[in-house]
């Protein structure tokens, strides 16, 4: 993995030699203070480093200086720049890194290209706002040159997939002249249908970490695996919103809050594209349920669309995403891939999206969709294997008869080819080495192993994404228990292996992935049963198990006298083309599968230390047992990928002190959620799905309607405790800002102007306020707290009571206090003005809270005017 490369460079094993020194021809800092802070952090991170540190600390480095630095130091700075960590690296430094160091250690050339973009951000510090405009401009000019001698038919070919099953990948753009074509492949958590790849934790588990660096690292690993297999465009991340708790594909995404989803999408895309693959933000937009997904109209008002559902796509554009996939459903009675308002106006005009829009598979409904902004049709044919296409010959004919302009087709082809240049895929890109339609074909499957040591990221995210919901009488962490029993089928390995069900469309044992196109093949799957036995061997514990979910009487007998009984339950869902146990993609209810509720109650009736582990795709109603006095602990472990069992064991035994937080609300009753699955419909019906709850999804509704949830959004316990203090907020000066007049207008309450890129303008997204506070670890174990920042708008704004607008993760040692800061942009404080069609600061006082969940506020303040 990436770290190993870094280590190799630092150890001089990269062929360049340990003794090599680097001459900085351009300075890496313009201001001494900033630089010394960087170096200090780097030093703390990687251990003491000799004289040049002292030198930089003392003097800083001025632009134009020339110094000689130890390569270790520089590499250390690069590591921090890439992977983490609250560093404030500035433009010249990153330019330096990109041009001198990155080629030696970066996983792909695209790194250089990404960091060279104007505002230069390559850290998961959200205060650094990247600007990909120069990179897009360069890619466009290459694309235009490339296409200069293409005929109309050749350009149309670039926009039209070859048809279902006619290539090695789930989607294929044919080769043309010196363009080798494109391989488009699922999924958001693995290279689907390929062997020797990593099965990562799902999006929902990743979002539960609330940890930007981990989200970024997963994206990078995913991106490099896709590239390693020859995939040009990886079909993810998926970022629908979890509007309804039963939504079949919610687990592919990042939870039920637009800000959390947006940040997770942003980090994932930066990571993936840094790995060299083009990312695809999907599904645009409102594909919030599987039932009748190609025949339902999401009827959504403009403000809700902007503030909730479109926001993660805005963040995707800001992350420089190369492509977007339009969804199956209709929006306000127009199909998503034919929706001029959504594609041309919001995505391309308002967000200034420079990449291309592809259809979901068979979601193109007309040739004229090209005019609505669709750039590529997938997989190419109108229906699978139909042999015809809305694009292809039809598109050519529409241009020839004047219905569609030549300029539009030029733009479509340019956007697609630009995406390819933008990621530098024109040189040395690996050939496709797998066959999505015949995984066993030796002629096409070259079995390229791209896994590296990504299993470590899988395990860490699995643990960091596990949420501790209850922990009484010191039940956890386990401390060398004398004996333990694991109860429930979810603890053990699938009867016929980890890939027993096609596209994971089934559930008979440990659940580590949902089902559908958002899956991959497990290379192996560590279950709790294996991981916990491994621990038992070290601890000298005795382990027993009972995988029978239905014989509760027997379970009751077996748990008697055990130091702890750990009950494993699950709940699964997926995509509509597979039905599992009556669940047509969406879950038919919010109840644990496989008799889970009864099993827990039976076990708890006979063992007073019953610990519950939940592997679920989303919220469950846990009222039947959550308050049972013998249920001492609950670990909400989500779905963790190939290392899921190890991650659970890490949390149970305290090797990982839990820091995960719920990315959705767990209600007391299904009826408490603001929106429900719409069922019914048949034949050619178009189901109306009215988003009448508007902005009030998930916790926003519970807060507004004063409904007490079982566990609120953002909730999660630790094995230690934290105390918050000393909140402060300051405005970040903008007096010399080049966009001062726009800023002034915004401060006066004017909406942002209607213009290309108006919603992604840098001045709107740059940090405008800095909230600082202290977090102290008041317990006895080192742990990570996830401080969350919620905005409370004035009544005039008609917003929900609290909206998440910031979070971070802070590791604190026992007794220590960390100084934490979270910034807010003008965009974060704005609401969408449907009349003015712009972002506007509402009139009245805006306040904020910092706390440990959406309801556990520790500190409060007011945004300065």
By annotation, the residues acting in catalysis are 360
What are the angstrom distances between the C-alpha of 644 and each of 200, 205, 666, 696? 9, 10, 22, 33
Cβ nearer to ligand BGC, comparing 360 with 766: 360
Cβ nearer to ligand BGC, comparing 282 with 701: 282
Cβ nearer to ligand BGC, comparing 165 with 861: 165
Cβ atoms of 245 and 618 within 8 Å: the answer is yes
Shortest separation between residue 517's beta carbon and ligand BGC, angstroms: 4
Shortest separation between residue 684's beta carbon and ligand BGC, angstroms: 20
Q: Determine the Cα–Cα distance for residues 617 and 570; give it in Å rounded to an integer.
A: 8
Residues that bind ligand BGC (CB under 6 A): 170, 186, 235, 282, 360-361, 517
Shortest separation between residue 339's beta carbon and ligand BGC, angstroms: 17
Cβ nearer to ligand BGC, comparing 291 with 841: 291
Cβ nearer to ligand BGC, comparing 184 with 652: 184
Shortest separation between residue 614's beta carbon and ligand BGC, angstroms: 26
Q: Tell me 64's DSSP state.
A: T
Q: In sequence order, what DSSP letters do the residues of 251-294 get, joined into one string?
A: GGTT-S-HHHHHHHHHHHHHHHHHTTPEEEEEEETT----TTTT
Cβ nearer to ligand BGC, comparing 282 with 509: 282
What are the angstrom distances between the C-alpha of 183 and each of 107, 278, 283, 438? 20, 10, 19, 15
Cβ nearer to ligand BGC, comparing 293 with 700: 293
456: β partners: none
Distance of CA 758 to the CA centre of its chain: 24
Q: Tell me 515's DSSP state.
A: B
Backbone angles phi, psi at 662, to 5 degrees: -65, 130
Cβ nearer to ligand BGC, comparing 281 with 859: 281
Q: Which residues contact 831 (CB under 8 A, 6 or more apart)?
A: 303, 307, 793, 797, 799, 839, 840, 842
Q: In sequence order, what DSSP letters do the residues of 325-360 get, joined into one string?
A: EE-SSEETTEEGGG-HIIIIIIIIIIS---SEEEE-
Shortest separation between residue 114's beta carbon and ligand BGC, angstroms: 24
Containing 811, the helix (H) or strand (E) segment is: strand 810-812
Cβ nearer to ligand BGC, comparing 356 with 773: 356
Shortest separation between residue 587's beta carbon and ligand BGC, angstroms: 18
Q: Determine the Cα–Cα distance for residues 717 and 125; give it in Å rounded to an integer.
A: 25
Shortest separation between residue 361's beta carbon and ligand BGC, angstroms: 4
The tally of CA atoms less than 13 A away on the side-chain side of residue 307 is 27
Shortest separation between residue 740's beta carbon and ligand BGC, angstroms: 43
Shortest separation between residue 516's beta carbon and ligand BGC, angstroms: 7
Q: Where are the beta strands (DSSP E) in 348-492?
A: 356-359, 467-471, 483-487
Shortest separation between residue 282's beta carbon and ligand BGC, angstroms: 6
What are the angstrom distances between the C-alpha of 706 and each of 627, 672, 700, 702, 712? 21, 10, 10, 6, 12
Shortest separation between residue 514's beta carbon and ligand BGC, angstroms: 12
Nearest of 15, 358, 6, 21 to residue 171 by alpha carbon: 358
Backbone angles phi, psi at 456, to 5 degrees: -65, -40
Cβ nearer to ligand BGC, comparing 81 with 234: 234
What are the angstrom distances between the C-alpha of 845 and each of 86, 260, 745? 30, 24, 17
Cβ atoms of 271 and 302 within 8 Å: the answer is no
3-state secondary structure of 499: coil
Q: In sequence order, what DSSP letters do the residues of 282-331 get, joined into one string?
A: EEETT----TTTTSEEEE--HHHIIIIISHHHHHHHHTT-SEEEE-SSEE
Q: Determine the Cα–Cα distance for residues 368 and 364; give it in Å rounded to an integer.
A: 10
- In this structure, which long-range contacts are made by residues 495-504, counting pairs with CB atoms below 8 Å and at least 24 apart in sequence? 498/522, 498/524, 498/525, 498/642, 502/578, 503/574, 503/575, 503/578, 504/574
Nearest of 167, 312, 292 to residue 240 by alpha carbon: 312
Q: What phi-psi label fits residue 522: left (phi over 0), alpha (psi between -120 and 50 degrees) or beta?
A: beta
Nearest of 834, 756, 761, 820 to residue 785 by alpha carbon: 820
Cβ nearer to ligand BGC, comparing 170 with 810: 170
Shortest separation between residue 436's beta carbon and ligand BGC, angstroms: 9
Q: Tell me 74's DSSP state.
A: H
């Amino acid at each position: 993995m990436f770290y190993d490369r870094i280590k190799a460079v630092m150890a001089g094993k990269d062929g360049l030699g340990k003794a090599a020194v680097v001459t900085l021809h351009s300075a890496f800092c313009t201001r001494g203070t900033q630089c010394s802070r960087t170096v200090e952090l780097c030093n703390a991170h990687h251990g003491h480093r000799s004289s040049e540190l002292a030198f930089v600390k003392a003097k800083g480095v001025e632009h134009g200086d020339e110094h000689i630095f130890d390569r270790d130091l520089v590499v250390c700075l690069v590591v921090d720049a890439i992977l983490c960590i609250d560093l404030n690296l500035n433009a010249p430094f990153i330019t330096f890194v990109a041009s001198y160091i990155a080629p030696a250690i970066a996983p792909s050339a695209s790194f250089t290209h990404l960091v060279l973009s104007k505002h230069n951000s390559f850290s998961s510090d959200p205060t650094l706002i990247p600007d990909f405009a120069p990179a897009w401009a360069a890619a466009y000019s290459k694309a235009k040159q490339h296409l200069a001698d293409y005929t109309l038919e050749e350009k149309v070919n670039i926009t039209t997939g070859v048809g279902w099953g006619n290539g090695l990948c789930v989607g294929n753009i044919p080769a043309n002249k010196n363009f080798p074509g494109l391989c488009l492949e699922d999924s958001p958590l693995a290279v689907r249908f390929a062997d020797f790849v990593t099965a990562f934790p799902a999006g929902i588990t990743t979002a539960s970490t609330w940890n930007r660096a981990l989200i970024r690292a997963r994206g990078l690993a995913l991106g490099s695996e896709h590239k390693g297999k020859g995939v040009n465009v990886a079909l993810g991340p998926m970022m629908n919103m979890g509007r309804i708790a039963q939504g079949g594909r919610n687990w592919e995404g990042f939870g039920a809050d637009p800000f959390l989803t947006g940040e997770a999408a942003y980090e994932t895309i930066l990571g993936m594209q840094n790995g060299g693959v083009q990312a695809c933000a999907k599904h645009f937009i409102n594909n919030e349920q599987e039932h009748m997904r190609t025949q339902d109209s999401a009827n959504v008002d403009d403000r809700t669309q902007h503030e909730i559902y479109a926001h993660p796509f805005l963040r995707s554009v800001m992350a420089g995403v190369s492509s977007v996939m339009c969804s199956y459903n209709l929006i306000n009675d127009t199909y998503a891939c034919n929706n001029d308002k959504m594609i041309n106006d919001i995505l391309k005009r308002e967000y200034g999206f420079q990449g291309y829009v592809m259809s979901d598979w068979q979601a193109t409904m007309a040739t004229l969709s090209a005019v609505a902004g669709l750039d590529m049709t997938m997989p190419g044919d109108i229906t699978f294997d139909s042999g015809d296409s809305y694009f292809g010959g039809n598109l050519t004919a529409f241009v020839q008869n004047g219905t569609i302009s030549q300029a539009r087709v030029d733009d479509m082809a340019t956007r697609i080819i630009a995406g390819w240049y933008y990621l530098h895929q024109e040189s040395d890109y690996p050939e496709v080495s797998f066959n999505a339609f015949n995984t066993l074909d030796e002629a096409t499957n070259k079995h390229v192993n791209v896994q590296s040591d990504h299993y470590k990221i899988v395990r860490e995210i699995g643990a960091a994404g596990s949420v501790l919901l209850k922990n009484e009488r010191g039940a956890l962490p386990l401390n060398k228990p004398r004996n333990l029993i694991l109860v429930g089928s979810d603890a053990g390995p699938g009867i016929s292996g980890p890939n027993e069900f096609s596209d994971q469309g089934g559930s008979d044992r440990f659940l580590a992935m949902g089902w559908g196109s958002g899956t991959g093949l497990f290379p192996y799957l560590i279950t709790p049963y294996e991981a916990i036995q491994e621990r038992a061997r070290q601890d000298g514990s005795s382990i027993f198990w009972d995988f029978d979910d239905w014989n509760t009487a027997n379970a009751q007998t077996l748990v008697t006298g055990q130091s702890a009984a750990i009950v494993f339950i699950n709940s699964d869902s997926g995509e509509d083309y597979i039905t599992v146990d009556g669940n047509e993609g969406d879950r038919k209810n919010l109840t644990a599968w496989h008799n889970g509720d009864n099993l827990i109650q039976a076990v708890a009736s006979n063992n007073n230390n019953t610990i519950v582990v939940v592997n679920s795709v989303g919220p469950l109603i846990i009222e039947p047992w959550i308050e049972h006095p013998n249920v001492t602990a609950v670990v909400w472990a989500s779905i963790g990928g190939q290392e899921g069992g190890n991650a659970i064991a890490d949390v149970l035994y305290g090797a990982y002190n839990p820091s995960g937080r719920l990315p959705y609300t767990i209600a007391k009753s299904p009826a408490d959620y603001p929106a429900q699955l719409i069922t019914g419909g048949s034949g050619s019906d178009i189901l109306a799905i009215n988003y009448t709850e508007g902005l009030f999804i998930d916790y926003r509704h519970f807060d507004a309607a004063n409904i007490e949830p079982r566990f609120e959004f953002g909730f999660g316990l630790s094995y230690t405790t934290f105390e918050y203090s000393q909140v402060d907020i300051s405005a970040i000066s903008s007096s010399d800002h080049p966009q001062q007049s726009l800023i002034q207008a915004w401060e006066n309450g004017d909406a942002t102007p209607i213009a290309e890129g108006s919603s992604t303008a840098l001045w709107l997204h740059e940090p405008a306020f800095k909230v600082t506070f202290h977090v102290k670890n008041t317990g006895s174990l080192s742990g990570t707290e996830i401080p969350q920042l919620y905005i409370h708008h004035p009544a005039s704004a008609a917003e929900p009571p609290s909206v998440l607008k910031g979070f971070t993760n802070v590791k604190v040692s026992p007794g220590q206090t960390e100084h934490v800061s979270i910034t807010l942009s003008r965009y974060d404080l704005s609401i969408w003005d449907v009349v003015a069609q712009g972002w506007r600061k509402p009139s009245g006082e805006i306040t904020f809270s910092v706390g440990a969940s959406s309801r556990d506020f520790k500190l409060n303040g007011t945004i300065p005017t």
